[in-house]
Structure 1
Amino acid sequence: MPLWTGRFQKELDQKTNDFNSSISFDCKMARQDIEGSIAHATMLGQCGVIDKSEADAICQGLEGILKDLQSGTLEIDMTQEDIHTFMEGELTRRLGDTGKRLHTARSRNDQVALDIRLYLREEAQGLLEQIKELTETICVQAEAFAGTVMPGYTHLQRAQPITFGHHLMAYAEMFLRDLGRLQDAVKRMNVNPLGSGALASTTYPIDRTVTTRLLGFSDTMRNSLDGVSDRDFCMELAAALSIVMVHLSRFSEEIILWCSWEFKFVELDDAFSTGSSIMPQKKNPDIAELVRGKSGRVFGDLTALLTVMKGLPLAYNKDMQEDKEAIFDSVETVKICLTAFTPMLATMKVLPENMRKAAAGGFINATDCADYLVKKGLPFRDAYKATGTLVARCIELGETLETLPMEEYQTVCEAFDEGVYEAISLENCVNGRSVLGGPARESVLAQVKRVRGLLREDAASES
């Protein structure tokens, strides 16, 4: 039976009831609903709003419901309006009038605001651990290939020599920032709305700090209207997750390119690839493609949340029931993407020879050639022009800067000597860039050390 009977003389039309119902998705919050209700009942007993014995009985009854749900001896009645109605009905069935006292000094408005915070707080912690695992996997691969030369790209054109480890650590930095965004979102999420009532709190002498302490919140919401109408914590989490998916999608795109015969820089393990139904030679990077595709789904969830909330007057409106499916889907999608992506990266076979060959064929040491002349005293623009002329000559002769004869160099600029060949060696080009954040092997290893240190500090702060 709906919680709002009394005012209405007719039962809700069945199709309308189905439209109105949210239990198909808010049943995910069953445990959090029970935990919140136990804290609320405990507080009511401590404050003398209900008898201590009744509060104890309610808590025991709720613990029994949770135990039965977990064991499978009790199933959620999916015909109920929402998980809150089901829980209160089941408690009343077990305890009689005592169960009816649970909802004293509480509205479904602050109850659902509480449940979703508890649920997302827990889910966010799981996502944080997954991103940390991915970041450590990146560090493992980057450390192994810290000295592996590959072409760096701008505009998807070969630009300058870097190392594969350096390329990977760029993503490690991105995911570190994702960790920070998610942690910030959790901080602002971790505030207790319980006690806000429907919108104007309650006349009962409750102590909201009790439920704040019992439920592990860092603070209590200071405005009851805000307590029931705020969903910016959902939007903030969805925004942070959308950025995670941007990074996963970009990484996936590069892996897809690297797997192609045109690049052939890496090969994915058979466990993370699929074949073709008609072309027996194919080995498709489907996991990476799915991650790339699912990014749009998470962006859509964020857009849905923003659109639902943008025009709502205070306080609660039924539109806000739409928050859960969007944010739940966002969380679940990112979770499953990380679950598939991390082991795919860990088992990926790197092909250094192909990377080195690609690096040798794209004149990506041209900047170093120009820098060589600058160190000889030429203005950079003159050195730039001379090097461009050499590249054109290489293309005409079918040579590279490494193989171009010295007489060709000196025809363009007399400042060139045999030392240029050492200066434009790809390994020297890379290892000469040993500045903070550069692609030199020692710099990449320093990046790996720093990121691992930050991950350890984060783990220590949580323990």
Structure 2
Amino acid sequence: MTDEQHRRTPTRLWGGRFEGGPSEALARLSVSVQFDWRLAPYDLLGSRAHARVLHRAGLLTEDELDRMLGALDDLEEACRTGEFRPAVADEDVHTALERGLLERLGTLGGKLRAGRSRNDQVATDLRLYLRDHVRQIVSRLVELETALIAQADQNMGVAAPGMTHLQHAQPVLFSHQLLAHVQAYARDVDRLRDWDKRAAISPLGSGALAGSSLPLDPEAVADELGFDAAAANSMDAVSDRDYAVEFLAAAALIGVHLSRLGEEVVLWASQEFRWIEMDDTYATGSSIMPQKKNPDVAELARGKCGRLIGHLTALLTTLKGLPLTYNRDLQEDKEGVFDAVETLLLVLPAMAGLIATMRVNTERLEALAPQGFALATDLAELLVRRGVAFREAHEVVGHLVVWCQVNDKDFGDLTDDELAKVSPHLTPDVRDVFSVQGALAARKAYGGTSPERVGQQLTALRSLADDHASWAAS
């Protein structure tokens, strides 16, 4: 076949055994280029590395290699500008790019296919795509970490009601609560960095499943593409999607953490809480009620968690019954991964902006901090320090709370006689613990909510966020 015939012939990466083309129904079912086209830059990276390996194996001359690399560069630029786009007849990204190469090189373009299969190509492309985009996700996580850290710093010393079961429990520093979310996102980053170690394995060179009889060098290709090593087993290399599952698991957990923060923001912004005021640029209004200011960013973060969990479940279900090695079911690995990436890159900046611009109602927080008998535990622990068994101390303070509720009083309103009526252990000096600031200062053990410990946590998390940013830029 002449170069001109190559340029005019519809590209199909299979078909010599077949007398006719696929039916329209099969073609429509098989096509994936509408979503896997985003792998084009990574497929071209792999093609350059493969071309160099073919040259070192003596399968491309120096001149052919130069022409091949020049054509690949030209094709990449055409893809970037939109001059070259997939056609209706292209089955997938690999088919489209081979068509583009044949249009530029004719017969020479067909030499690039030697020693590789779409099976190892797509596995390599997806790993490259994810390793690249995971760093983008970590950059966005750093923005959210930084916004939370800045709010914690700005509101350092502000007391707030700490809650369990959404009921007032004990006073905490509001900064401590904000930094609790940073701790969760820091674990998310740690998971993605750990994931990257296992994802840094190159499948290219595995061929369809058994490797190649051509004198190729998978380790050299791995090194050129930034992987740590080549796959040790060609069958595993083309069928493994653990890296996609692990990414989706990490993405789902990030979604859960975003949802939990979103839920708290929704509560904090409500008329009942009034802990924060959202900036107008990160809130919406109502089409019918002029007074409304809605926390749509937080609600959407909460809502999109479901699709992230769904993508993980879907891929696990797809993989659970597949025999080795490649099966076309694996085409289902990409759409969920792409959507998870895009969802996180959409939600994270919006949440970072919401947190960075919100205004904290410090006066209300501090007024609410002691309410709901939130200092009851401090009183019980004072009695313990005086030798009372905690079981008894717990009951004494519980009786005191009931007495206050019946008589519509708070701890600070009680007289000496009223304290003594409940228990002889409740001497006048127990009033020493009826102080929010005292309660905060007393929680000075590692991990506690005392100003000293929260300050240390703030410093440590700033340093950790800087480390996360450095890794993302690597």
Report if the CA contact (8 A) 1:161-1:429 is conserved.
Answer: yes
1:171 aligns with 2:181: yes
- Distance in 1 between the 2:151 and 2:445 partners? 21
1:92 aligns with 2:98: no
Shift in Å at residue 185 of structure 1? 1.1
Instruction: Quote the residue 2:385 is aligned against.
Output: 375
Gaps of 5+ in 2: 1-10
1:105 aligns with 2:134: no
Instruction: Quote the residue 1:275 is aligned against.
Output: 285
SS in 2 for 1:4: coil
Instruction: Quote the residue 1:160 is aligned against.
Output: 170
- Distance in 2 between the 1:403 and 1:221 partners? 72
Q: Equivalent of 1:12, from 16, 22, 45?
A: 22
Q: Equivalent of 1:399, from 367, 391, 409?
A: 409
Q: Deviations over 1:122-172 (max 9, x none)?
A: 000101111122112111111222311111111111111111101111111
Gaps of 5+ in 1: none
Q: Which shifted more, 294-303 or 413-422?
A: 413-422
Instruction: Quote the residue 1:189 is aligned against.
Output: 199
Instruction: Quote the residue 1:242 is aligned against.
Output: 252
- Distance in 2 between the 1:429 and 1:75 partners? 65
Q: Which shifted more, 155-164 or 414-423?
A: 414-423
Shift in Å at residue 458 of structure 1? 4.4
Aligned CA-pair RMSD: 1.4
1:450 aligns with 2:460: yes
Shift in Å at residue 311 of structure 1? 0.5
1:440 aligns with 2:450: yes
Q: Which shifted more, 138-147 or 299-308?
A: 138-147
1:289 aligns with 2:299: yes
Report if the CA contact (8 A) 1:142-1:444 is conserved.
Answer: no
1:366 aligns with 2:376: yes
Q: Deviations over 1:355-378 (max 9, x none)?
A: 222223210100111122222222
Report if the CA contact (8 A) 2:146-2:462 is conserved.
Answer: yes
- Distance in 2 between the 1:393 and 1:156 partners? 23
SS in 1 for 2:168: strand
Counterpart residue identity of residue 63, structure 2: S
Shift in Å at residue 460 of structure 1? 5.2
Report if the CA contact (8 A) 2:203-2:231 is conserved.
Answer: yes
SS in 1 for 2:232: coil
- Distance in 2 between the 1:349 and 1:421 partners? 34
Q: Which shifted more, 286-295 or 54-63?
A: 54-63
Report if the CA contact (8 A) 1:208-1:220 is conserved.
Answer: yes
- Distance in 1 between the 2:468 and 2:78 partners? 37
- Distance in 1 between the 2:147 and 2:441 partners? 24
Instruction: Quote the residue 1:228 is aligned against.
Output: 238
**Counterparts in 2 of 1:62-101, with a 5 A limit?**
62-101=72-111
Instruction: Quote the residue 1:314 is aligned against.
Output: 324
- Distance in 1 between the 2:295 and 2:157 partners? 26
1:207 aligns with 2:217: yes
Instruction: Quote the residue 1:25 is aligned against.
Output: 35
- Distance in 1 between the 2:170 and 2:315 partners? 42
Report if the CA contact (8 A) 1:49-1:205 is conserved.
Answer: no
Q: 1:324 to 1:460 in 2, by over 3 A?
A: closer
- Distance in 1 between the 2:182 and 2:293 partners? 27
Counterpart residue identity of residue 374, structure 1: V
Counterpart residue identity of residue 162, structure 1: V
Shift in Å at residue 398 of structure 1? 1.3
- Distance in 2 between the 1:86 and 1:299 partners? 32
- Distance in 1 between the 2:399 and 2:390 partners? 14
Instruction: Quote the residue 1:261 is aligned against.
Output: 271
Q: Equivalent of 1:252, from 262, 276, 279?
A: 262
SS in 1 for 2:369: helix
Q: Equivalent of 1:349, from 340, 349, 359?
A: 359
1:421 aligns with 2:462: no
Q: Which shifted more, 421-430 or 19-28?
A: 421-430
Shift in Å at residue 219 of structure 1? 0.7
Q: Deviations over 1:262-301 (max 9, x none)?
A: 1111111111111111122211111100110000000000
Instruction: Quote the residue 2:59 is aligned against.
Output: 49
Counterpart residue identity of residue 357, structure 1: A
1:2 aligns with 2:12: yes
1:37 aligns with 2:39: no
Counterpart residue identity of residue 352, structure 1: T
Report if the CA contact (8 A) 1:265-1:351 is conserved.
Answer: yes
Report if the CA contact (8 A) 1:147-1:440 is conserved.
Answer: no
- Distance in 1 between the 2:415 and 2:249 partners? 55
Report if the CA contact (8 A) 1:131-1:175 is conserved.
Answer: yes
Counterpart residue identity of residue 21, structure 1: V
Instruction: Quote the residue 1:387 is aligned against.
Output: 397
Aligned-pair identity (%):
42
Q: 1:241 to 1:374 in 2, by over 3 A?
A: same
Q: Deviations over 1:334-360 (max 9, x none)?
A: 111102111101001111122222223
Question: Which 4+ runs in 1 deviate beyond 6 A?
Answer: none
- Distance in 1 between the 2:128 and 2:328 partners? 20
Shift in Å at residue 77 of structure 1? 2.2
Report if the CA contact (8 A) 1:49-1:206 is conserved.
Answer: no
Counterpart residue identity of residue 96, structure 2: F
Report if the CA contact (8 A) 2:170-2:377 is conserved.
Answer: yes
Report if the CA contact (8 A) 2:152-2:175 is conserved.
Answer: yes
Shift in Å at residue 210 of structure 1? 1.5
Report if the CA contact (8 A) 2:138-2:469 is conserved.
Answer: no
- Distance in 1 between the 2:445 and 2:76 partners? 57
Aligned length: 463
Report if the CA contact (8 A) 2:419-2:428 is conserved.
Answer: no
Q: TM-score, normalised by structure 2?
A: 0.95
- Distance in 2 between the 1:162 and 1:233 partners? 40
Q: Deviations over 1:370-401 (max 9, x none)?
A: 12222222222222111111111111121111
